[in-house]
Chains A and B, each alone.
Chain A
Amino acid sequence: MINQLSWKVGGQQGEGIESTGEIFSIALNRLGYYLYGYRHFSSRIKGGHTNNKIRVSTTETRSIADDLDILVAFDQETIDVNYKELNKTGIIIADTKFKPVRPDDTDAALYSIPFTEMAAELGTSLMKNMVAVGSSSAVLGLDIHVFNEVVEEIFGRKGAQIVQKNLEAIREGYDYMKALLGNNQGTLELAKADGQKRLFMIGNDAIALGALAGGCRFMAAYPITPASEIMEYLIKKLPPLGGTVIQTEDEIAACTMAIGANYAGVRALTASAGPGLSLKMEAIGLSGITETPLVIVDTQRGGPSTGLPTKQEQSDLMAMIYGTHGEIPKIVMAPSTVEEAFYDTAEAFNLAEEYQCPVIILSDLQLSLGKQTVHPLQFDQVEIRRGKLVTDPIPEPADKAYFKRYEVTEDGVSPRVLPGTKNGIFHVTGVEHDETGKPSEVASNRKKQMDKRMRKTKNIRFNTPIHKNCKHEDSDLLIVGFNSTRGVIEEAMDRLEQEGIKANHAHVRLIHPFPADEMLPLVRRAKKVVVIENNATGQLANILKMNVGHADKITSILKYDGNPFLPHTVHTECKELFEYGNI
């Protein structure tokens, strides 16, 4: 009996690899296991190697595993590309159809099962995935009754016969594997899970659900990997609330349409990835100077240009902080878990209205698409705060004087009137303007308006700008990261602790304005600071140096090959850094 293992299914894209992983993991989730998934896929519809790696555990897990226990292969390429990940007790379960060959340099056992043939005998070879799911269940020692419910939910609308055939395919795969395993039964058998029902979702699900909970009622967006799930979810869920999603002609339209809707008073969202964000930059500046609330999601992927569209990277950081010409107040937040993605998205709509500026929710491909077990989301923690929105009647002005929408105030935030309000007429322009919004190039006015805008976010109120796991007053290492690296860092930390290295962990959730006051004491009391990030230039490390200094003790561990960090990489590189002073 083991408490956790790692399972991977691979084959050609378009062969149902994704649904194999999906059905298997939904069943595991129902049984109460904790899951963490990572999909390897390419920017094409059919063909090309794809795989789905899932870590299954009886306790909480927040990252992919270093190695692999079970590899389910639908073609030889899957074996050739992935077998080196298999550990000593690992096994390969492969479709007999492609005459699988076990590589010479592996200890892994190969079990050949006629997935396709068995499925074809039941009616259609499409069900080969179900046979594979059944075989995998046998290895894990699962009670396959759990599939009755799952298969019904997925195939129910296709009729009872289809459901029955799929369940038979699972049963046959299960029985065949049981017979093959013989005496080996039990080596990879999983301890029973607690049977608790838990949420199982990707970061994009949480972002979309957070938007709904946070009062978002309109979205304008253009499809892009890895952000499209957000618009696809909201187009299903907004109509019952009176709202909708418009798929626009381009990213610029998506951003400017969201600005128009926010100006008119609806909480509106747009979401994209790097290439889309590059196109939205001028509009982000418009939101900044016109003080129009705007919430934008950036699900980072490999850049620049089209880059690595289906791969993990965290290289938009500087662009999100500084992007757009000129200078504007902006808030950039970086949730590090699926739960935080939910709460932060809901909160982003409050911040956008309170500070009347663009708010960027930074995610990354692994956080946005990695499907995982999620703690219950506390809806009662979600607040709706609309800042200085004017709701009282406005007295009639003398001589058609415009409302002072850009009144210079102490905190920089001015009262905000929505179009349609009687006696509230004001002008909005991306040109520098006076307190009523009328264009003005007067030097003294320019300075007043610029100062007013820039001081809005100076003392931003943000709950937990840094997630801290800092057990040590003085640390050997302070490990810093953002977005999806939180899990691997936590796992590496545990290993470092066992080796007697005093490590603290600070995960930055508010990227801009940078929470320097909170970070500085942690940096001061660390012998060394190591910043873990998926980019080539150490962007977060540079932001850290700019904001808290101590450049001499800040080092980076970087990965920009398109794949997420593994716990052992972070562990060994941190250890080397501690022992030898550099990497």
Chain B
Amino acid sequence: MATFKEFRNNVKPNWCPGCGDFSVQAAIQRAAANVGLEPEGMAIVSGIGCSGRISGYINSYGFHGIHGRCLPIAQGVKMANRDLTVIASGGDGDGFAIGMGHTIHAIRRNIDITYIVMDNQIYGLTKGQTSPRSAAGFKTKSTPQGSIEPALSPMEMALTAGATFVAQSFSTDLKDLTAIIEAGIKHKGFSLINVFSPCVTYNKVNTYDWFKENLTKLSDIEGYDSSSRETAMQTLMAHNSLVTGIIYQDLQRKSYQELIPGYAETPLTQADLHLDQGSFDKLAAEFM
């Protein structure tokens, strides 16, 4: 069985020293090993931005696509080969700005993939513009007077969109993050994991210290019930979404693939591409 080291490749990330994304990379490698995957059995599909480079920094199949589209690509990969463990990942701009349409529909479609968002509340690679996750009043190069739009709450949004797995974590908490990614991979359906992954270069407000001060662990809330959507929503609202842990998990609903009529049990990549003459003649006869 592969160890987490086998998920390391020989590429040096081009992230800034201290970037939160390093821990996400390590957590994915550990979680993959912990759930018993082999490197060739995983495909990471990523978006564009600093965090989007992650698919190139893990020893597995990786697809670095176009801005905002990692989710449809990842869903296509999973539809084609249901034996692969498919992880989609990208930043908050990728998933909650340009790719928001896909995020909300991937959530309600519930194809069995894991989506990890590295949320730094800023556009880093383009050198410091506002993001849909930036708080109102946040000053950036594109909002010199402070943002006048409120920040989006992706966790609340996911709950209303019919999510079956909603979790949040903080990149410094490697143990917790690894466990959540493992749970996400094991979850039969779409899992959304938002990870606070601070940008040490452009976000001087939402720093490591800021998160340490403001985050509440759900495990510290006595009797928190992650199977209740109502509790999940109330807790998010009470804590301004600044919580970590598995916020909500629906273990009843079947994944998209389990519901498709006729969908092959074996990967579609193994399906016979040839029709036989008899089947073809039958199809053609319907047009006579």
Query: A30–B287 Cα gap in the complex (Å)?
Result: 11
Q: Does B283 contact A (CB under 8 A)?
A: yes
Chain B interface extent, by class: 35 or more
A420 touches which one: B9, B65, B83, B261 (CB < 8 A)? B83
Q: Are A384 and B274 in contact (CB under 8 A)?
A: yes
Instruction: Specify which chain B residues have a CB less than 8 angstroms from the CB of A377 in the assembled complex.
Output: 284
Q: Which of B55-63, B171-179, B185-193, B199-207 contacts A (4 or more CB under 8 A)?
A: B55-63
Q: Does A46 contact B (CB under 8 A)?
A: no
The smallest C-beta distance from B31 to any residue of chain A, in angstroms, reads 18
Q: Which of A88-96, A123-131, A212-220, A528-536 contacts B (4 or more CB under 8 A)?
A: A212-220
Q: Does B79 contact A (CB under 8 A)?
A: yes
Query: A76–B62 Cα gap in the complex (Å)?
Result: 63
Query: A209–B283 Cα gap in the complex (Å)?
Result: 8
Q: Which of A161-169, A260-268, A442-450 contacts B (4 or more CB under 8 A)?
A: A260-268
Q: Are B271 and A243 in contact (CB under 8 A)?
A: yes
Q: Are B56 and A268 in contact (CB under 8 A)?
A: no
Instruction: Specify which chain A residues have a CB less than 8 angstroms from the CB of B230 in the assembled complex.
Output: none
Q: Does B238 contact A (CB under 8 A)?
A: no
Q: Are A439 and B56 in contact (CB under 8 A)?
A: yes
Given A197-B288, A201-B287: A242 and B72 interface contact (C-beta under 8 Å): no
Q: Are B75 and A260 in contact (CB under 8 A)?
A: yes
Q: Does A41 contact B (CB under 8 A)?
A: no
- In A170-199, the 8 Å CB interface with B consists of 197-199
Q: Are B61 and A419 in contact (CB under 8 A)?
A: yes
- In A511-564, the 8 Å CB interface with B consists of none
A428 touches which one: B62, B76, B104, B281 (CB < 8 A)? B62
Instruction: Specify which chain A residues have a CB less than 8 angstroms from the CB of B66 in the assembled complex.
Output: 256, 282-283, 286, 430
- In B86-110, the 8 Å CB interface with A consists of 101-102, 104-105, 109
A268 touches which one: B53, B80, B263 (CB < 8 A)? B80
Instruction: Specify which chain B residues have a CB less than 8 angstroms from the CB of A384 in the assembled complex.
Output: 273-274
Q: Does B133 contact A (CB under 8 A)?
A: no
Q: Are B80 and A252 in contact (CB under 8 A)?
A: no
Q: Are B262 and A205 in contact (CB under 8 A)?
A: no
B56 nearest in chain A by CB position: A427
Instruction: Specify which chain A residues have a CB less than 8 angstroms from the CB of B69 in the assembled complex.
Output: 252-253, 256, 283
Q: Does B252 contact A (CB under 8 A)?
A: no
Q: Does A3 contact B (CB under 8 A)?
A: no
Q: Does A422 contact B (CB under 8 A)?
A: yes
Instruction: Specify which chain B residues have a CB less than 8 angstroms from the CB of A265 in the assembled complex.
Output: 80-81, 269
Q: Are B61 and A218 in contact (CB under 8 A)?
A: no
A371 nearest in chain B by CB position: B287
| Chain B 235-278 near chain A by CB (<8 Å), digits 1 or 0 | 00000000000000000000000001111101111010111010
- In A263-302, the 8 Å CB interface with B consists of 263-268, 282-283, 286, 290
Q: Are B80 and A218 in contact (CB under 8 A)?
A: yes
Q: Are A249 and B102 in contact (CB under 8 A)?
A: yes
B73 touches which one: A256, A418, A427 (CB < 8 A)? A256
The smallest C-beta distance from A85 to any residue of chain B, in angstroms, reads 29
The smallest C-beta distance from A330 to any residue of chain B, in angstroms, reads 17
Q: Are B64 and A429 in contact (CB under 8 A)?
A: yes
Q: Does B77 contact A (CB under 8 A)?
A: yes
Given A258-B76, A283-B66: A253 and B102 interface contact (C-beta under 8 Å): yes
B109 nearest in chain A by CB position: A246
Q: Does B41 contact A (CB under 8 A)?
A: yes
Q: Are A253 and B269 in contact (CB under 8 A)?
A: no
Given A253-B105, A260-B45: A209 and B284 interface contact (C-beta under 8 Å): yes
| Chain A 236-262 near chain B by CB (<8 Å), digits 1 or 0 | 011111111010111011101111111
| Chain B 1-30 near chain A by CB (<8 Å), digits 1 or 0 | 000000011110000000000000000000
Q: Are A215 and B274 in contact (CB under 8 A)?
A: yes
The smallest C-beta distance from A230 to any residue of chain B, in angstroms, reads 14
Q: Does B181 contact A (CB under 8 A)?
A: no
Query: A66–B8 Cα gap in the complex (Å)?
Result: 70
B281 nearest in chain A by CB position: A379
Q: Are B284 and A264 in contact (CB under 8 A)?
A: no
Q: Are A266 and B80 in contact (CB under 8 A)?
A: yes
- In B144-202, the 8 Å CB interface with A consists of none
Instruction: Specify which chain A residues have a CB less than 8 angstroms from the CB of B215 in the assembled complex.
Output: none
Q: Are A263 and B63 in contact (CB under 8 A)?
A: yes
Instruction: Specify which chain B residues have a CB less than 8 angstroms from the CB of A244 in the assembled complex.
Output: 79, 260, 262-263
B283 nearest in chain A by CB position: A209
Instruction: Specify which chain A residues have a CB less than 8 angstroms from the CB of B39 in the assembled complex.
Output: 425
Query: A427–B39 Cα gap in the complex (Å)?
Result: 13
Given A218-B79, A242-B264: A427 and B62 interface contact (C-beta under 8 Å): yes
Instruction: Specify which chain A residues have a CB less than 8 angstroms from the CB of B84 in the assembled complex.
Output: 264, 419-420
Query: A256–B84 Cα gap in the complex (Å)?
Result: 18
A431 nearest in chain B by CB position: B64
Q: Pick 18 A–B contacts, CB within 8 A, sort by A.
A: A200-B287, A200-B288, A213-B275, A215-B274, A218-B79, A240-B262, A250-B101, A253-B72, A256-B66, A259-B73, A260-B72, A264-B43, A267-B273, A400-B10, A420-B83, A425-B40, A425-B61, A439-B64
Interface, chain A (partner B; CB < 8 A): 29-30, 197-201, 205, 209, 212-215, 217-218, 220, 237-244, 246, 248-250, 252-254, 256-268, 282-283, 286, 290, 374, 376-377, 379-380, 384, 399-400, 402, 418-431, 438-439
The 7 A-B residue pairs with the shortest CB-CB distance in the complex, in nearest-first order: A260-B76, A239-B262, A215-B273, A242-B264, A264-B80, A419-B61, A429-B64
